């Protein structure tokens, strides 16, 4: 198994990481005191249980409950800008060279009644500032939740289209897949795609492979967030493979939210064996208390994946980036060269 030091130094790509799940615990602790939030402030470990998965994984309701707490922290423009800047800084520290960070404008805006246009502008500005300081390229994906009204999705798409020349490259549908349908949002994603934005859909995580089929056939998704339930239906697996759909797999998140019960049971290895286009991602690194290097270490130890598998998934991620064709080819060439040097 590769050492954690080797994995930390490996050049990386991340396609599936939520800003709202990438908030530093130390920053949250400062904000609890500054804004006198109704959370324990006696020590940082008391706060940890509210915003991270500790020993209570295995249930998606518990996983989602962390975000209910985290929404209390979006108190000002300065706070949101700090969160976005630090998320990019932390990715760069993990040697992530190309990073597509998804953010949910309504989650950032709702508690204080901010305008979606404003929070989007703040995130973009902070990301631009971070890119000037760190050796990382960042694109943004605007996300909406299927458990919220379709009208919110309409507004998110409007904001995404308006900022497509400022680094917003795609739209995403997330939220409670088990209890809320995706279909009502399909017209908004068609509109986004017509405007030149990429489409990625959370599917096949907390519900079965039929949702993966729907994401491919109804939403024409180029990428699927998670999608690990695809292995349960050979026909859907074949559809995904034939269409060249890329899966944004998040192993630790899947275990902590109850998609699979143990790391050794995770279907990522099967997905690779079936020649699906799988990538490795963290989902919500601060909630899960991991880095992408940690995730690589986990799949090495639990699933027996080696350096060649990690290189393959990294190159797949480069090929799947929501970039103009010339920029994507350049990214692939860059990573082929860099990864060839790693032994």
Instruction: List the catalytic residues.
Output: 205
Please enumerate in sequence order all residues whose Cβ is within 8 A of that of 19, keeping only pairs 6 or more positions apart, or say none: 83, 84, 87, 101, 102, 103, 104, 108, 123
Query: For residues 343 and 304, is the Cβ–Cβ distance under 8 A?
Result: no
Q: What is the DSSP letter of 47?
A: H
Helix, strand and coil content of the chain, in percent to the nearest 5, comes to 55, 15, 30
CA distance 189 to 199: 7
Query: For residues 55 and 49, is the Cβ–Cβ distance under 8 A?
Result: no
Q: Find the angle CA(230)-CA(309)-CA(97) to the nearest 5 degrees.
A: 100
CA distance 261 to 57: 9
CA distance 53 to 76: 26
Nearest in space to 159 (alpha carbons), one of 207, 124, 201, 186: 124
Task: Find where tokens 């050049």 sit.
Answer: 11
Buried b (16+ CB within 10 A) or exposed e, 307-324: bebbbbbbbbbbbbbbbe
Query: For residues 13 and 98, is the Cβ–Cβ distance under 8 A?
Result: yes
């Amino acid at each position: 198994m590769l050492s954690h030091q080797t994995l930390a130094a490996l050049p990386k790509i991340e396609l599936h990481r939520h800003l709202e799940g990438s908030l530093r615990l130390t920053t949250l602790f400062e904000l609890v005191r500054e804004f006198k939030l109704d959370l324990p402030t006696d020590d940082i470990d008391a706060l940890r249980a509210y915003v991270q998965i500790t020993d209570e994984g295995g249930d998606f309701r518990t996983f989602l409950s962390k975000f209910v707490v985290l929404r209390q922290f979006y108190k000002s423009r300065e706070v949101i800008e700090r969160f976005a800047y630090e998320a990019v800084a932390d990715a760069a520290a993990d040697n992530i060279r190309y990073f597509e960070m998804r953010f949910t404008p309504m989650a950032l805006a709702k508690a204080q009644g901010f305008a979606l246009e404003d929070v989007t502008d703040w995130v973009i500005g902070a990301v631009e500032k971070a890119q000037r300081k760190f050796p990382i390229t960042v694109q943004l994906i605007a996300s909406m939740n299927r458990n919220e009204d379709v009208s919110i999705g309409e507004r998110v798409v409007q904001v995404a289209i308006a900022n497509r020349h400022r680094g917003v490259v795609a739209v995403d549908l997330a939220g409670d897949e088990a209890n809320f349908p995706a279909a009502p949002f399909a017209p908004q994603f068609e509109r986004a795609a017509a405007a030149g934005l990429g489409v990625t859909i959370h599917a096949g995580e907390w519900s079965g492979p039929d949702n993966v089929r729907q994401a491919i056939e109804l939403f024409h998704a180029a990428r699927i967030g998670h999608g690990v339930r695809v292995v349960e239906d050979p026909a859907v697996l074949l559809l995904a493979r034939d269409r060249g759909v890329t899966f944004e797999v998040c192993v630790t998140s899947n275990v902590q939210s109850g998609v699979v019960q143990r790391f050794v049971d995770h279907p990522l290895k099967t997905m690779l064996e079936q020649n699906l286009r799988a990538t490795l991602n963290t989902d919500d690194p601060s909630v899960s208390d991991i880095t992408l290097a940690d995730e690589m270490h986990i799949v090495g130890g639990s699933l027996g994946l080696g350096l060649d598998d990690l290189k393959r998934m990294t190159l797949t991620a480069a090929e799947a980036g929501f970039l103009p064709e010339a920029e994507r080819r350049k990214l692939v060439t860059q990573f082929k060269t860099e990864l060839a040097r790693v032994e």
